[in-house]
Amino acid sequence: MLSGRVSRLKPSATLTITARAKELRSKGVDVIGFGAGEPDFDTPDFVKEACIKALRDGKTKYAPSAGIPELREAIAEKLLKENGVEYRPSEIVVSSGSKMILFLILTAILNEGEEVLIPSPYWVTYPEQVNVLGGVPVEVPLKEEEGFVLTADRIRDRITDRTKALILNSPNNPTGAVYPEEELRKIAEICVENGIFIISDECYEKMVYEGSFVSVASLSEEVKDITFTVNSFSKTFSMTGWRLGYVACPEKYAKVIASLNSQTVSNATTFAQYGALEALKNPEGEKFVRRMVSEFRKRRDKAFELLSSIPNVSVVKPEGAFYIFPNFSFYSKETGGDIRLAEILLEEGKVACVPGSAFGAEGYMRISYALSIDRVEEGINRIRTTLERLS
């Protein structure tokens, strides 16, 4: 008999659709994959070389559970230089991806029945992790008309005496929303007043096309004291398979998270950490990111232009990340829901998208534009044709 906790676990919708698309492709069908949650760029060579060198140098054994000291130091430097937040290396823990980091943070802070505020649409993993750990995910619904931006008012009426944490994700997956600094300030103030932890998932920080990115912990010392700043090498340096993410937070929490890490993964893969170190240290890293982001911007513009012109579809222009989240509810009502609509888009249009219901937003579709601009154009034209045929 399995535990009650895992019985609530839902399989990842993103992976399900990607698997079906792969199956069709293996049969020779030309499927356009809008499902991917990773950049289509290769990890830069200089990063790979640093990892290969580490392997050759014998960096093949266990490492400190919080991460190799050089990497924690480089992360602290990065946080100060790029985000304006001062952390000591002892306040940083590296683990196998930011997904694992989030799980460790939630394990460290959540008691049975405690609530975690999750702005919705949300990244699929947040409520699943909270559920598995015996917490209660509390959705904070966001509005398309407000650009899917979280406002202080929206969280105020969701707070109870069991509220333990708020998960922020700006730039956002799946909406691409970037929260303005003034709103973040108000939100953070409420969390400080009510003693609510902020878990700030900043893994898309570099992919910002409008406005500017603000790291929540940089707002004030009081905010920093209640914030877990989470980041990843996955998206910034196109290193999804390397499995490297980190958290920066007050040392008393970092110590617990490092202990949890030591009792679960032991340490993030030792030689991989040397690749990440090079990504942060080598000036080529910044150039790589700039090139990638400028490419994403062109695709975003194209995707927005094409989706906006489809009849009966509304779409918010994403300001960050590499997703766009059109409202297809006019069509999904006809098909009996967005899951069925995604199936039709895949089977008939040969386009793989992830249905909005996976992100708590029925009627929407997440389109990842992590593929060439020609494929973006072709894919959205296929969507248009399939939708037009439907109506």
Nearest distance in Å: CB 220, ligand PLP: 24
Q: Taking phi first (over 0 means left), then psi (-120 to 50 degrees means alpha), and beta for anything else, what does residue 285 get?
A: alpha
DSSP symbol at 356:
G
| Binding segment toward ligand PLP, per CB under 6 A, in 82-90, 92-100, 128-136, 338-346 | 92-100
| 98 vs 218, beta carbon nearer ligand PLP | 98
Smallest gap from residue 388 Cβ to ligand PLP (A): 31
CA 374 to chain centre: 25
Return the residues of window 17-36 that contact ligand PLP according to CB under 6 A: none
User: Is residue 201 a contact residue for ligand PLP (CB under 6 A)?
Assistant: yes
Minimum distance, C-beta of residue 242 to ligand PLP, in the bound complex (Å): 9
What span, in angstroms and rounded, lies between the C-alpha atoms of 71 and 274?
A: 7
Q: One symbol per residue from 125 to 164: x for binding ligand PLP (CB under 6 A), - otherwise; what is it?
A: ----------------------------------------
Cis amide bond preceding 69, omega within 30: no
State which of residues 175, 227, 234, 273 lies at the interface with ligand PLP (CB under 6 A).
234
If you search the block for the tokens 């691409």, which residue do you land on? 176
DSSP per-residue string spanning 179-241: --HHHHHHHHHHHHHHT-EEEEE-TTTT-BSSS----GGGS-HHHHHHEEEEEESTTTTT-GG
Q: For ligand PLP, which residue of 245, 275, 349, 360 counts as binding (CB under 6 A)?
A: 245
Given 120, 131, 169, 269, the residue binding ligand PLP (CB under 6 A): 169
Kindly tell me the number of DSSP H helices and DSSP E strands found in the chain. 15, 12
**85: which 2 tokens?**
């937040």
Given the rule CB under 6 A, which of 95-103, 248-256, 266-274, 383-391 is the region that contacts ligand PLP? 95-103
d(CA 169, CA 17): 23
Residues linked to residue 278 through DSSP beta bridges, in sequence order: none
CB-closest chain residue to ligand PLP? 97
Shortest Å, Cβ 209 to ligand PLP: 17
Region binding ligand PLP by CB under 6 A among candidate stretches 82-90, 138-146, 232-240, 297-305: 232-240
Please provide the distance, in angstroms rounded to a whole number, between the alpha carbons at the two ends of the chain: 47
CB closer to ligand PLP, 173 vs 386: 173
Q: How far is the CB of 358 from ligand PLP (least distance, A)?
A: 12
> Which residues make beta-bridge pairs with 368?
323
- Closer residue to ligand PLP in complex, CB, 246/274: 246
- Kindly state the smallest distance separating residue 125's Cβ from ligand PLP, in Å: 7
Q: Which of 203, 248, 268, 289 binds ligand PLP (CB under 6 A)?
A: 203
* Residue 38 backbone phi and psi in degrees, to 5: -145, 150
Contacts of 152 (CB under 8 A, 6+ apart): 183, 186, 187, 189, 190
Point out which residues pair with 354 in neighbouring strands.
366
Task: Please tell me the count of residues contacting ligand PLP according to CB under 6 A.
Answer: 13
Q: What is the smallest separation between the CB atom of 40 and ligand PLP, expressed in angstroms?
A: 14
**Is there a contact between 168 and 187 (Cβ–Cβ < 8 Å)?**
yes
Q: Which of 43, 83, 95, 98 binds ligand PLP (CB under 6 A)?
A: 98
**Residues forming the site for ligand PLP (CB under 6 A):** 37, 97-99, 123, 169, 173, 201, 203, 232, 234, 240, 245
